[in-house]
Amino acid sequence: MYRSHVLVCGGTGCTSSGSLQIFDLLKEEIAKNGLADEVSVVQTGCHGLCALGPIVIVYPEATFYSMVKPEYIPEIVSEHLLKGRVVKKYVYEDTVQEEGLKPLHETDFYKKQHRIALRNCGVINPENIEEYIGTRGYEALGKVLTEMTPDDVIKCILDSGLRGRGGGGFPTGRKWQLAKDLVKGGQKYVACNADEGDPGAFMDRSVLEGDPHALIEAMAIAGYAIGANQGYIYVRAEYPIAVDRLNIAIGQAREYGLLGKDIFGTGFDFDLELRLGAGAFVCGEETALMTSIEGNRGEPKPRPPFPAEKGLFDKPTVLNNVETYANIPQIILNGAEWFASMGTEKSKGTKVFALGGKIKNTGLVEIPMGTTLRTVVEDIGGGIPNGKKFKAAQTGGPSGGCIPAEHFDVPIDYDNLIALGSMMGSGGLIVMDEDNCMVDIAKFFLEFTVDESCGKCTPCRIGTKRLYEMLDKITKGQATLEDLDKLEELCYYIKDNSLCGLGQTAPNPVLSTLRYFKDEYIAHVVEKRCPAGVCKDLLSFVIDPDKCKGCTLCAKKCPAGAISGTVKEPHVIDTSKCVKCGVCIENCKFGAISKK
Amino acid sequence: MAAKSTVPFQGTKEQEAQLRSVIAELKDERGSLMPILQKAQDIYGYLPIEVQTMIADECGIPLEKVYGVATFYSQFSLYPKGKYKISVCLGTACYVKGSGDIYEKLQQLLGIEGGQCTPDGKFSLDACRCIGACGLAPVLTINDDVYGRLTAADMADVLAKYE
């Protein structure tokens, strides 16, 4: 028994800011102080508050040290762990109050969250199966195998109202029912989509890194429900930590007899195999993902037949995303009513969002469905930094759209987001402020889809490229109002005629910015002006003569020789020579140069 | 393709033996071409046509199929990478915080375009789509080192660490 547990976040966000070094230093320093038998150091998954990494939490008191630097460690160990005095100056500022510390779950970031899919992330050591079992892990699988029929399981998932968390929102129980009943008996497969391709979404990665056994348990439950004995996890190769932890977890589950033959002595066999993606966004589409597992170019196939009838290796297959699976054991343990009591009428439970972009608390948050965007951005997210104004939140990544400030109070659920012209998507939520140009953002997403279009069908392959070119023309001030009409027409054409979800949703970023920010498009086209000051071709660099001290630094650094002036006199930029590289702004010590 | 592959293939006997044993181990599994290509890229660092041919021959599948798969996925590279592989995240969270400027600045400093390698083989530059470190945006990686909360002005200093 240890008297204290020190949890160090080992998620990708924190390891990127140096948490592995912190972990090693803590162990070293604790040993040096002779505390190795009393204090244990554990590497956990993500706590969610990635903006404040590396994160170290000391239990039992749950002291939350944020942005921990190596030089803090000796003090934290000698003061806190040895003498029991919290080192307040390194503690997360929102937990600091006059008397003692505020509990973490009462801080603004955590107060309105409800963690189901992420319940173990940041709490247990993901590389130790016993810690998972200690939090009722594999109990749901045991219950399913010993007390429930496959139909009971499917009914429970149906009644819970759980819908696919990968973006589409198809009822999970319905999917399982189809896979069980469309084809009776024979070889079937369970698959997991862990190819989280939406740039800016990382909730699945967090579950894989922080609670891999939850996924394994859920897939075994799905296997039992539909009658499959083999599962495949298709995971992004860009997530090396997740791949490692999954491999460890699968190995441990086999060792404990929770995967393999005759699980819990019930005669049920189930095993899992990991397949690595290789960087293709289209492989998030279910038929493309299965084609890729089969070892081919990840091109989608027309549906029907749906995978529930003819999927992986032409056998009936259930494919769910990581977050969907992460909910399953909890639903089995706590009952369908418990899950259905959270959320809105048609969207039950919680949803994890990856908050990113221009927001103070970047990180992962899990909120009940129906929470308003305002709550997420202002209360949980801590608002926009640097006193800037909120402009829009982008959800659904390259398939989604943006939600402008006027819809700040809409409850977030599947149907409301679709009505607003966006979509839930996998849960990326990128906040943009007044400095982001919406035309540029639309162009950014189209560049992405052009890159990622697999090329199989013409509307997507050629259409997205044409869309991109039109947007490029707009950002360069070369478009006419007629082009805006053509742009919209082409969007609908691509939506209606593409083979798979990638093409059908690719125009959404354009349509939604046209819907809410048409004035910005018009400013680019008619006034040849970028209101946010982003589109380079429409900007000119100017020196403010009142601020310029005539230090000559900008003139020396300018690669185009576009700046002239005499020492100690205000300089001027010759806009005909200026290449708009921005070197002058970077070098000016007086803030005298700006883009207009 | 010929224009870019200036570095001749320099595979060693050891690498070949390693690849052959990987193929022997995996080739009978269903859908094993991707895992084989991934292992081959670990061994050689990239997938030149010589390696693809070896895989096609050993597995008894057409080279055309191997090439098709190798060119479909962005993680497979047909060209050698630099000693230091720079990868700038152009995921949405990084992009709205200015990673586009960082990418442009690096192209300027290195004198190469994205997807290329400096003539001395030292740096190669690529864009990637979200490594999931959105909390540190904008982010870039150089081999296994992660750099976050960057601005274009930091780039010269970051590169200097590898001089």
Q: Would the CB atoms of B38 and A16 count as touching at under 8 Å?
A: no
Closest CB from A199, A292, A444 relative to B130: A199
Residue A580: band (very low, low, confident or very high) from pLDDT cuts 50, 70, 90: confident
Q: Could you report the per-residue pLDDT of A87-105, keeping only the tens digit for each?
A: 999 999 999 988 889 988 8
Closest CB from B72, B92, B97 relative to A397: B92
Q: Would the CB atoms of A582 and B101 count as touching at under 8 Å?
A: yes
Look up the CATH number of domain A129-339: 3.40.50.11540
Whether the pLDDT of residue B6 is over 80: the answer is no
Whether the pLDDT of residue A560 is over 60: the answer is yes
Whether the pLDDT of residue A310 is over 90: the answer is yes
Domain coordinates in residue numbering, chain A: 4-104, 129-339, 350-433, 438-525, 540-595
Look up the CATH number of domain A438-525: 1.20.1440.230
Chain B: give the shortest CA distance to residue A200, in Å.
5
Per-residue pLDDT, averaged over A441-465, amounts to 95
Nearest CA in chain A to B69: A297
Q: Could you report the per-residue pLDDT of A350-380, keeping only the tens digit for each?
A: 999 999 999 999 999 999 999 999 999 999 9
What was the pLDDT predicted at B3?
A: 42
ipTM of the complex, rounded to two decimals: 0.88
Per-residue pLDDT, averaged over A460-484, amounts to 97
Residue A140: band (very low, low, confident or very high) from pLDDT cuts 50, 70, 90: very high
Least confident of A256-260, A573-577, B53-57: A573-577
Q: Kindly report the number of other CB atoms within 10 A of residue A472's CB atom.
A: 17
What whole-number distance in Å separates Cα of residue A38 and Cα of residue A28?
14
What whole-number distance in Å separates Cα of residue A316 and Cα of residue A310?
5
Whether the pLDDT of residue A45 is over 80: the answer is yes
Query: A555 φ, ψ to 5°?
Result: -65, -35
A283 contacts A197 by C-beta, under 8 angstroms = yes
Per-residue pLDDT, averaged over A545-549, amounts to 93
| Preceding omega of A385 cis (within 30 degrees of 0) | no
Per-residue pLDDT, averaged over A396-403, amounts to 93
Per-residue pLDDT, averaged over A276-296, amounts to 94
HSE-CB for A581 with a 13 A CA cutoff: 21
What whole-number distance in Å separates Cα of residue A5 and Cα of residue A466?
57
Its CATH class, for the domain covering A350-433, is alpha beta
Its CATH class, for the domain covering A540-595, is alpha beta
Size of interface A-B (CB pairs under 8 A): 141
Q: Would the CB atoms of B90 and A199 count as touching at under 8 Å?
A: yes
Could you list the beta-strand ranges (E) of A414-521.
428-433
What was the pLDDT predicted at B1?
A: 38
B129 contacts A195 by C-beta, under 8 angstroms = no
Closest CB from A53, A202, A448 relative to B132: A202
Nearest CA in chain B to A48: B135
Q: How large a percentage of chain B has pLDDT more than 70?
A: 96
Q: Could you report the per-residue pLDDT of B51-98, keeping only the tens digit for each?
A: 999 999 999 999 999 999 999 998 899 988 899 999 999 988 899 999
Q: How large a percentage of chain B has pLDDT more than 90?
A: 67
What was the pLDDT predicted at A94?
A: 92
For chain A, give the mean pLDDT: 94
Q: Would the CB atoms of A238 and B136 count as touching at under 8 Å?
A: no
Per-residue pLDDT, averaged over A247-258, amounts to 98
Task: Name the residue with higher pLDDT: A1 or A121.
Answer: A121
Per-residue pLDDT, averaged over A276-286, amounts to 92
Q: Could you report the per-residue pLDDT of A468-479, keeping only the tens digit for each?
A: 999 999 999 999
Residue from B72, B99, B104 whose CB has the most chain A CBs within 10 Å, to mutate: B72
Which neighbouring-strand residues pair with B7? none
Closest CA to A30 of A66, A79, A99: A79
Supply the pTM of this predicted model: 0.92
What was the pLDDT predicted at B80?
A: 86
Chain A: give the shortest CA distance to residue B15, in Å.
22
What was the pLDDT predicted at A586?
A: 84
Closest CB from A49, A202, A358 relative to B96: A358
Chain B: give the shortest CA distance to residue A59, in Å.
24
Tokens in use for A131?
A: 């810690």
Q: Does CATH place domain A4-104 in 3.40.50.720?
A: no
Whether the pLDDT of residue A56 is over 90: the answer is yes
What was the pLDDT predicted at A12?
A: 86
Chain A: give the shortest CA distance to residue B26, in Å.
12
Nearest CA in chain B to A432: B96
What are the C-alpha distances in Å from A584 to residues A157, A455, A490, A589, B155?
A: 60, 42, 40, 10, 15
**Strand duo A260-263 + A268-276: pairing:** antiparallel
Task: Name the residue with higher pLDDT: A16 or A126.
Answer: A126
Residues of B at the A interface, defined by Cβ within 8 angstroms: 30-35, 37-38, 65, 68-69, 72-76, 90-93, 95-97, 100-101, 108, 128-137, 139, 146, 148, 152-153
- Determine the Cα angle at B106 with ends B102 and B111, to 5°: 155
Task: Give CA torsion, residues A250, A252, A256, A257, to 10 deg.
Answer: 20
Q: How large a percentage of chain A has pLDDT more than 90?
A: 88
Per-residue pLDDT, averaged over B36-41, amounts to 95
The answer for residues whose C-beta is within 8 angstroms of residue B134's C-beta and 6 or more apart is: A13, A50, A200, A202, A354, A356, A362, B91, B93, B94
Q: Could you report the per-residue pLDDT of A175-234, keeping only the tens digit for each?
A: 999 999 999 999 999 999 999 888 888 899 999 999 999 999 999 999 999 999 999 999
What was the pLDDT predicted at A306?
A: 94
What was the pLDDT predicted at A214?
A: 98
Q: Which of helix, strand or coil describes residue B117?
A: strand
Q: Could you report the per-residue pLDDT of A411-435, keeping only the tens digit for each?
A: 999 999 999 999 998 899 999 999 9
Per-residue pLDDT, averaged over A58-77, amounts to 95
Tokens in use for A202?
A: 């990382």
